[in-house]
Homo-oligomer: A and B are copies of this chain.
Amino acid sequence: MVLTIFNAVKRVLVGKPFRNDRLAHTLLPKRIALPIFASDALSSVAYAPDEILLTLALAGVSAVAISPWVGLAVMVVLLTVVASYRQNVHAYPSGGGDYEIANVNLGKYAGLTVAAALLVDYVLTVAVSMSSAATYLTTAVPSLHGQQAAIATIGVVILALVNLRGIREAGSVFAVPTYIFMASILGMTAVGIFQAVTGQLGQAPSAAFTIVPQPEFDQGLVGLAGAFLLLRAFSSGAAALTGVEAISNGVPNFKKPKSKNAATTLLLLGVIASAMLAGIIYLANATKVHIVQDPATEFLLNGKPLEEGYIQNPAISQIAQTVFGAGSIPFYIVVAATGVILVFASNTAFNGFPVLGSILAQDGYLPRQLRTRGDRLAFSNGVLALAAGALVLIIAFNADVTKLIQLYIVGVFISFTMSQLGMIRHWGRELKLSKDSAVRLRIIKSRTINTVGFGMTGLVLVIVLITKFTQGAWIALLAMFVLFLIMWSIRAHYDNVAKELAVDEDSSPRALPTRVHAVLLVSHVRKPVLRALAYARASRPSRLDAITVDISPEETEATVADWEKLEIPVPLTVLASPFRETVTPIMEYIKNMRRDSPRDLIVVYIPEYVVGKWWEQLVHNQTALRIKTRLHFEPGVMVASVPWQLKSSEEAKKLQDIQ
């Protein structure tokens, strides 16, 4: 019933459901696949550079000058990861992704760990991307500044509704804005470099500010503290890698040769992403973009702190202002394209999350009914869970990207590292199997790449853990741990049940109950009862009784009279009910029956009304429902519910059928 209400509400909110599977089986050419799977990875250049800059800024302006080197380091990791995933793509074209790789090669514990990490990541992808998108919106529309949390919230809600409504991105919808984004960023970089060469490149709005280093860094970036800060900057910048794995989950959707095309797309992605990253960091330095965690305390203008209400814009928008001029058309294009790409990035999470959920359900880590991929139920639940999680984070951290980033990266690198380790194992096995030296050579090459990848990502993971744990990463880790436990116990439960229900020697598939004893529940003599009667008789039981409970003498008399008037060839037993209660007398009757002939099968026929409106459920079938629930606890008793479709049910049937 409750569900019915929910559905009613849902129907209003998200309209009639339509098939999600329409596009599920169209295969994508590279030029479409790239934008679809790349938006997540590419969009991270919208916040990664800022994180590098503002972390270094803690040690003053001199430290910021090191940012290109940090960026370089990030790029190296990025390209290594891309190289490694190109191996994954060839080895696992099924699209199982990191979870499958870890599961197959490292065992279920590892698999479950990766699964938990990925689930948390999806949530964070939405939270971070939407918060960042909100920030970009406020740089275009400054009057909205301070409302980021509200904007991000609304964004998530809308995205959730859109996805519930069941719109799968048609490739083209994604392609165009993604390409605009690439073009605008790379274009901006080009123009910027040209200006720099020709000495026309201006200064960023924040260039005039002097940065107040934190007390512990008054000597600049030196000593242990300095090294630590450097690592922190690096691991924040590593946020640029989030979403790289997306393609490896999408291999099945590629045109043939799937793996090869996927690998090429992955390479393209890596090259473009690093180009963008390099460009932005170069221009940020060339135009002296200054970004800090807290402008009020860390910035000085001519020795004095800034006046209230200075709005710090992200690097990309500051660069766009400098290169194209504030308020110019190209400026708005860059900012808009960035905002849109960020929304798309979160949308990819909305597609990926339920899919991963269904895979986990298949392996028995989530409720079974979620396992069918296209399935609405699975999809809706996934979308709702994801949206809820993201909203909690956005509100808890007030849509502060910098804070959210601290939670983000740890999960990403857990799955990176795990899957690389898995791949090493994988190649190891392959190597044992194959004799052909050419093949062996290729395998060894792949394994080397994955080993490097493992070393690199493992190192980053350690750095991230060290530098970010207290910053908030512990929250993400805790969430993963909880998810791990939940999924683990669900699986344990399924396994126990399977053991309990396994067919064993003493379960004999041929043994039949000696006799079938049918019981028909009668309240009033109406069409549904007659139908139930007919069905009961049609199944030719060894014995058939009709019973009615004597709640009110008048009603009972009427019932008996009607029964006789129709000359129904079945005896009608009236059960006394001292306390005018329905369920108990029936249960007593059934239990006695069982006692008298334990080896018989008792079939209880219950006429049921099929209604259309949710409130009709409240006024019908409630007693039937309670009787059924009670009967289910009696072994040797089967409940046969004979539906009668009320006129009002026809409307509901139509809805059912579309679903």
Contacts and interface: CB of A to CB of B under 8 A. Distances in A.
Q: Considering residues A525, A538, A568, A652, which has the most beta carbons from chain B within 10 angstroms of its beta carbon?
A: A538
Nearest to A621: B369
A535 interface: yes
Nearest to A504: B527
B643 A637 contact: yes
Contacts of A533: 509
A507 B502 CA distance: 46
A452 interface: no
B509 A530 contact: yes
Interface stretch (A210-218, A341-349, A627-635): A627-635
A614 to B, nearest CB: 13
A305 interface: no
Given A372-B580, A638-B642, A640-B638, A516 B501 contact: no
A609 B497 contact: yes
A18 to B, nearest CB: 13
B516 A538 contact: yes
Contacts of A525: 503
Contacts of A541: 539
A637 B371 CA distance: 27
A195 interface: no
Contacts of A640: 603, 638-641
**How many subunits of this chain does the assembly comprise?**
2
A419 interface: no
Contacts of A507: 527, 530
A375 B582 CA distance: 9
A2 interface: yes
A430 interface: no
Looking at chain A's contact residues, the main secondary structure is mixed
A653 B524 CA distance: 29
Nearest to A540: B540
Contacts of A509: 530, 533-534, 566-568
A537 B516 CA distance: 10
A368 B645 contact: no
Nearest to A618: B367
A622 to B, nearest CB: 4
A547 B490 CA distance: 27
B642 A581 contact: no
Interface string A538-551: 11110000000001
Contacts of A540: 539-540
Given A500-B646, A526-B501, A579 B24 contact: yes
Contacts of A578: 21
A290 B398 CA distance: 57
Interface in A572-622: 577-582, 601, 603, 608-610, 616, 618-620, 622
A309 interface: no
A513 B528 contact: no
Contacts of A566: 503, 509
A125 to B, nearest CB: 25
Nearest to A541: B539
A373 B582 CA distance: 11
A373 B641 contact: no
Contact of A638 (B535, B626, B637): B535
Contacts of A608: 632
Contact of A534 (B375, B512, B603, B623): B512
13 contacts: A367-B618, A368-B619, A368-B622, A368-B623, A372-B551, A498-B524, A503-B525, A503-B526, A516-B539, A628-B641, A632-B643, A633-B656, A638-B642
Closest 7 CB pairs of A and B: A369-B622, A374-B579, A501-B526, A633-B653, A632-B643, A640-B640, A509-B566
Interface of A: 2, 21, 24, 362, 367-369, 371-375, 377, 490, 493-494, 497-498, 500-503, 507, 509-513, 516, 524-528, 530, 533-535, 537-541, 551-552, 562, 566-569, 577-582, 601, 603, 608-610, 616, 618-620, 622-623, 626, 628-635, 637-647, 649, 652-653, 656
Given A371-B580, A632-B645, A640-B641, 14 more contacts: A377-B626, A490-B619, A494-B619, A501-B528, A509-B530, A511-B534, A539-B541, A610-B632, A629-B656, A632-B641, A632-B643, A635-B643, A638-B643, A639-B641
